[in-house]
Amino acid sequence: MPVTIMGAVHTPPQPYLLLARMEQLIIKNQERFSHVVERVSQFHLEFEAIHPFIDGNGRTGRLLLNLDLMKEGYPPINIKVSDRKRYYDCFTSYHSNGEDPSKMVSLVREYLEEELLKYVEIVRNANEISR
């Protein structure tokens, strides 16, 4: 039975297409040479468009996004509940604007910058303590 996404402007593929679409996504992701933030944002948008599970696609997609960030040496990000509308708007924009990932790239970049600044502050505080 096909999955539907409430309020979405995109319809996920039929179940019999899932395996092929996921294989294409993984191959396509391995071929990309863009910056990690662009790559993980694009992958996340495309993974959620495929919507391979009946439930838990968002959580799984965000875990995969963070796994890819951590594999590249970046900290994981946590998209806050208070930013849920902006997060969902990224998907609407992607599907309405010719698959332009720029809104998701901006969201991920902002969260990543926030996390990196936290790490910098921790290092500064540690240096102050050790003096």
In-domain check, residue 95: yes
Q: Mean per-residue pLDDT for 83-96?
A: 96
In-domain check, residue 87: yes
Supply the pTM of this predicted model.
0.84
In-domain check, residue 36: yes
In-domain check, residue 6: no
Domain count, the chain: 1
In-domain check, residue 64: yes
Judge whether 51 counts as a catalytic residue.
Answer: yes
pLDDT digits (tens, 9 = 90+) for 9-67: 678 878 788 889 999 888 887 776 689 999 999 999 999 999 999 899 999 999 999 99
The rounded distance, in Å, linking the Cα atoms of 108 and 38 is: 9
pLDDT at 31: 73
Residue of 10, 35, 44, 51 with catalytic role: 51
Domain that holds residue 76: 15-130
In-domain check, residue 25: yes
pLDDT at 27: 84
- Where residue 21 sits, what CATH number does that domain have? 1.10.3290.10
Res. 118: pLDDT tops 90: yes
CB 68 within 8 A of CB 54: no
